[in-house]
Structure 1
Amino acid sequence: MAIREIIEVPDPRLKLVSEPVKPEEFNDELKQLVEDMFETMYDAPGIGLAAIQVAVPKRVLVIDLQPDDPDAEPVECEHDGHKHTHPATKKEPRVFINPVITPETEEMSTFQEGCLSLPEIYADVDRPASCTVEYQDLQGNHHKEHLTGMMATCLQHEMDHLEGIVFIDHLSRLKRNMMLKKLKKLRAVA
């Protein structure tokens, strides 16, 4: 496994439409890509990652909402000289290859979204509250699943990457420009 570089806005590769994974590509190379994507996502840290974000224009995405684990001991860590205790999380890694989604409802939900390709930038985005996804797993098996809540939102966010869309593209031009200026300032400080 390896941590790969996450490409960031304004990298033009983020505007590419990703190609489907062909039947002959369900192999060890694909498994390695998925392992690397999980390691990269966990290291970032994030809850979702599309292959294009690690410069691979394939229709592959990984998600792990990492829910709190009530049975595990809390995790202690230190940031900026301050000790913190966080609830322990459990890993629930999900892989979606060649996903196709169908929004299921007129009902919308709003979540504050962030993106590993736009570090430290967050904004509220409206998306359908539920969707159905058809996808393949690492062995090429086909699945169909109904998703709601944060999983539906996260999947739609990652699906956008496969179409060359980042979450700020859903914002008004004014808000998008404000986010890009903020990103520029953050980069200048770093």
Structure 2
Amino acid sequence: MILPIYAYGQPVLKKVAEPIAADYPDLAQFIADMWETMEEANGVGLAAPQVGRSIRLFVVDSGPMQDEGKEGEGIRQVFINAEIIEEAGADCSYAEGCLSIPDITGDVVRPEQVTIEYEDEHFVTHTSTFTGMNARVVQHEYDHIEGILFTEHLKPLKKRLVKRKLEKIRRGDIELKYRMKFVR
């Protein structure tokens, strides 16, 4: 089932999400719904807060973000109860966007490598290191479960330039490309 994506301004997007246990109700269906919702919106990642649940879960499919011919280097996986252990490498800038903040992009500086501990959909614990675009997508989605939006990483001038657009999104005064839920 395609879920509505919560738009900028929804309080759930600013909360630090709660860990979950293996007995979380209807988890397998919720994960399937998240994949379907992300794909319908042409996203490469989606965090549970973006569909209204303040839980530490996100999905990533970074294949479409890889350079042409290197799509197979992307990752497609579920992250539950994730915690970043280490960020390393040079800081890299890249124009990010977000399904909760449509039609706005901005350069975000992030470390080129991240090591993260998480559980998969079977609650098996993993510690993985990601680099390049995989690291960027994981860090972006991780920010969501920490209550951080990519716009908070923008330089002050860019923040001022997008302020009016953000307010339009908050009000729902935008052309919809996928199902969304706004503050009304």
Normalization by structure 2: what TM-score? 0.83
Supply the distance in 2 between the matched residues of 1:44 and 1:67 (Cα, whole angstroms): 13
CA RMSD of aligned residues (A): 2.5
Alignment of 1:40 onto 2:23: no
- Give the secondary structure class of the aligned counterpart of 1:153: helix
Query: In structure 2, do the counterparts of structure 1 residues 145 and 176 end up closer, same or farther at CA, with 3 Å as the change threshold?
Result: same
Counterpart code for 1:96: F
Decide whether the 8 Å contact of 1:104 with 1:128 is kept in 2: yes
Supply the distance in 2 between the matched residues of 1:68 and 1:126 (Cα, whole angstroms): 17
Alignment of 1:96 onto 2:93: no
Which of 90, 99, 112 does residue 129 from structure 1 map onto?
Answer: 112
Measured after TM superposition, the shift of residue 185 of structure 1 is: 5.3
Decide whether the 8 Å contact of 2:45 with 2:59 is kept in 1: yes
1:77 is matched with which residue?
none
Supply the distance in 2 between the matched residues of 1:104 and 1:39 (Cα, whole angstroms): 30
- Give the secondary structure class of the aligned counterpart of 1:123: strand
Alignment of 1:170 onto 2:153: yes
Decide whether the 8 Å contact of 2:84 with 2:117 is kept in 1: yes
Query: In structure 2, do the counterparts of structure 1 residues 39 and 102 end up closer, same or farther at CA, with 3 Å as the change threshold?
Result: same
The structure whose Rg is larger is 1
Decide whether the 8 Å contact of 1:47 with 1:63 is kept in 2: yes
Residue ranges of structure 1 left out of the alignment (5+ in a row) = 70-85
Supply the distance in 1 between the matched residues of 2:21 and 2:65 (Cα, whole angstroms): 36
Supply the distance in 2 between the matched residues of 1:152 and 1:144 (Cα, whole angstroms): 13
* 4+ runs deviating over 6 angstroms: none
Decide whether the 8 Å contact of 2:75 with 2:134 is kept in 1: no
Query: In structure 2, do the counterparts of structure 1 residues 68 and 48 end up closer, same or farther at CA, with 3 Å as the change threshold?
Result: closer
